[in-house]
Amino acid sequence: MKKIVLFLFITSIFIGCKEQKGYVTLSGKIDNVESKELMIASKKFSKKITVSDDGTFKDTLNVEKGIYTMSNGVNKFPLFLANGYDLKVNTDATDFSNITFNGKGTKSNNYILERIKFSKTDLFNPKSYFLLEKPEFEEKVREFIKTSVAISTTDVDSMIVTQIRNDDTRFLDYIKKNYQAKYNAAVKFAKGKPSPKFTNFENYKGGTTSLDDLKGKYVYIDVWATWCGPCKQQIPFLKKVEDEYHGKNIEFVSISTDRKNKYKAWKKMIVDRQMGGIQLYAGTDHSFSQEYQINSIPRFILVDPEGNIVDADAPRPSDPKLIDLFNSLNI
């Protein structure tokens, strides 16, 4: 009897060791492969995985449990990894959104995939809540919670579930806390309402320019500053959009909110970045920003040829929705 017990004890140790594999096995296939490398990375970890000519790959990684980014240099996708996983990944090099998973670790990564799809719906757009009357707002909040809970968490690692649920809580807290102020602003700056005006702002090319000078054309306004990193990130995208719409019924206006000690930096950046459009300097006149209640930049605004608001918080140049908006207006 003692021998049987000892045998079972030793067997359980070997089985336990086998189950607690101290690394991740990550393999799969990438269609339309161009890059011969995949990068798996987090803040404290990075490893390159070689991709064969036929798109297949396989490697092992010793990781701390958490979210990592898989990138081919063009596209990227989050992966949840933990030692012991044997995860197979299949996707297309041109579009990681079509990714599929198999093997141990599938449930947690499918959960992330479903949450990404959810995040791209209107339920995750704060702006859509602030346009609603109070009863409709509360109903949409309930719909958010119902949809979130409906995504299965069966066999999903509790770490990722907790993290995402916390993200949901922060999102809901934000929209509830800011609803009234944002709703009031949405009513004030609703489509068709007269736009606040800027008057006699210094034009880089000489003289001054006012919003009224541009009547007869749509006006896409970029409120920015030279010290603002996200503002500067948008410059290449803005230049591309300007080029695409050159000669059409729209003017592109950039309004610098830099202080006087950054005046020379404003002029220099226009030259260094070869910035087009109408470049204006607001100086000490903060009335336009204040009337639009701008508390963070960059901020983009679209005004129609009559000087009325089309969108007081328009898509950024990097957002494909901007071109959709322009197309809907036949610009």
> 2-94: which CATH number, 3.40.1280.10, 2.40.160.20, 3.30.565.10, 2.60.40.1120?
2.60.40.1120
According to DSSP, the residues that pair with 255 across neighbouring strands are: 223, 280
Q: Is the pLDDT of residue 97 over 90?
A: no
Tell me, what DSSP letter sits at residue 316?
A: P
Q: pTM here?
A: 0.71
Burial letters 23-32, b for 16+ CB under 10 A, else e: ebbbbbbbee
Instruction: Yes or no: say if 231 and 224 are a contact pair by the CB < 8 Å rule.
Output: yes
All residues at 6 or more sequence positions from 184 whose CB lies less than 8 Å from its CB, including other chains: none
- Tokens 């009234």 correspond to 180
Average pLDDT of span 306-316: 96
Other CB atoms within 10 Å distance of the CB of residue 330: 7
Q: Is the pLDDT of residue 7 over 60?
A: no
* 4 CA to centre of own chain: 59
Instruction: Yes or no: say if 231 and 225 are a contact pair by the CB < 8 Å rule.
Output: yes
Average pLDDT of span 239-262: 97
Give the pLDDT confidence of 284-294 residue by residue, as tens digits. 999 999 999 99
pLDDT confidence of residue 9: 36
According to DSSP, the residues that pair with 311 across neighbouring strands are: 302
Residue 77 carries which side chain, given as an amino acid letter? F
Average pLDDT of span 88-107: 94
Average pLDDT of span 158-168: 96
Average pLDDT of span 241-267: 97
Q: What is the largest CA-CA distance in the chain?
A: 100
Domain ranges of the chain: 2-94, 122-188, 201-328
Fold of 201-328: Glutaredoxin (3.40.30)
pLDDT confidence of residue 20: 57
Average pLDDT of span 210-218: 98
Give the pLDDT confidence of 20-52 residue by residue, as tens digits. 578 999 999 999 988 899 999 999 999 999 999
